[in-house]
Amino acid sequence: MTDPLTLARDLAGSGDLPGAASAYDRAYARGFEVTDERRDLLDRLAVEEHGIRFRYVPAGTFLMGSTDGDPDESPVHPVTLGAYWLAETPMTWAAYCDLMGWEPPPIGTPPEPGFHLYEQNKIRLQYCELETPMVSVGWQDAEELCARLSTADVRYSLPSEAEWEKAARGGLAGRRYPWGDDPPTPDRCDFDRFAEFSIRAPDTFPPNGYGLYAMSGTVWEWTSDWYDSMSYAGSAGGGEERVLRGGSWSDCADAVTVSFRMSRGSRSWRDAAWGDHFAPNIGFRLCRKAEAGA
């Protein structure tokens, strides 16, 4: 039987780059020395659209969950996914405003609905940096951007919980963090800085095996799934809150693992009852799926 590394090289040589990427993933998980070859191939499969770089996550099966975390992280179970792309970093203020077409309106002209999410957001004013991840954003607002960008050939969405976790693992099997099992440190991710109340740029830290930045810490990231504490054990799913993943600049080490799960209501700034309850540590990143050749 052909080993996955030989298969990956054969597929790459024949021009089947997606197939090669999946084979390299299997080789990487089994401990083959493929870092440079794999990175070069994934770089070739990356896509840049709407001013955002999307990193390729190969099709395949991975083990989701953890036996060392909270009860809702178990049991560990295999999940098979098709290929997709995930934004290299969380959405920034600058990118969101550009993609939504938001500009300050002429004096005396009412602003476009939603502009005040940017204009009046105290969190943004405190950070004073448009290139930092967008925070204090609701699930529905992220979904609105996805719908705005999607076409017949290319669909944008929030990642599912499984898509997020596979991407965060970067091809490493059974590890706690995107870089392995070593505990987080200030040079690995942005975490445990509640007293400082600030966000560091995602590319301050090394990327994971898929070339993704800030999959641990920085900001919590919305997923498309409803939260169900028993979903891994076979519950039918559903609920009132959406799953958040990744932990943030304000959280401790246990919350920035690749398997830790949190949830929050999926309201929008349009919901007056939501008031000022948006959190200064919740953001999102885009997931991209495309038809062949798109």
Q: What is the mean pLDDT of residues 31-48?
A: 93
More confident residue, 48 or 278: 48
Annotated domain spans of the chain:
1-45, 51-290
pLDDT at 258: 98
Q: For a pLDDT cut of 70, what percent of the chain falls above it? A: 81
b/e map 248-270, b = 16+ CB within 10 Å: bbbbebebbbbbbbbbbebbbbe
Q: What is the mean pLDDT of residues 77-100?
A: 93
Q: What is the mean pLDDT of residues 190-211?
A: 84
Dihedral over Cα of 124, 132, 269, 197: its sign: negative
HEC readout, 51-83: CEEEEEECCEEEEECCCCCCHHHCCCEEEEECC
Structure tokens of 132?
Answer: 């930092």
pLDDT at 107: 52
The number of helices, as runs of H, and strands, as runs of E, in the chain is 8, 11
pLDDT at 110: 53
Q: What is the mean pLDDT of residues 95-103?
A: 80
Give the pLDDT band (50/70/90) at residue 129. Answer: low
Q: What is the mean pLDDT of residues 256-274?
A: 74
Q: What is the mean pLDDT of residues 40-48?
A: 97
pLDDT, one tens digit per residue, over 153-191 is 999 999 999 999 999 999 999 999 999 999 999 999 998
Q: What is the mean pLDDT of residues 198-222?
A: 92
Give the pLDDT band (50/70/90) at residue 15. Answer: very high
The helix or strand, by DSSP H or E, that contains position 38, with its residue range, turns out to be: helix 35-45
Give the pLDDT band (50/70/90) at residue 240. Answer: confident
b/e map 118-157, b = 16+ CB within 10 Å: beebebbeebeeeebbbbbbbbbbbbebbeebeeeebbbb
Q: Which of 203, 213, 204 is nearest to 170 (CA)?
A: 213
Phi and psi (nearest 5°) for 110?
Answer: -60, 140
Structure tokens of 50?
Answer: 């709407």
In angstroms, rounded to a whole number, what is the distance separating the alpha carbons of residues 221 and 244? 5
Give the pLDDT band (50/70/90) at residue 112. Answer: low
What's the CATH number for 51-290? 3.90.1580.10
> Cβ–Cβ contacts within 10 Å for residue 105, how many?
12
Q: For a pLDDT cut of 90, what percent of the chain falls above it? A: 61
Q: Are 171 and 28 in contact (CB under 8 A)?
A: yes
Single pTM value for the model: 0.88
Per the prediction, the chain carries an average pLDDT of: 85
Name residues whose C-beta falls within 8 Å of residue 111's C-beta, 6 or more positions apart in sequence: 104, 105, 119
In angstroms, rounded to a whole number, what is the distance separating the alpha carbons of residues 153 and 253? 40
- pLDDT of residue 103 exceeding 80, the answer is no
Pick from 28-42, 56-70, 115-129: least confident: 115-129
Pick from 159-163, 187-191, 207-211, 233-237: least confident: 233-237
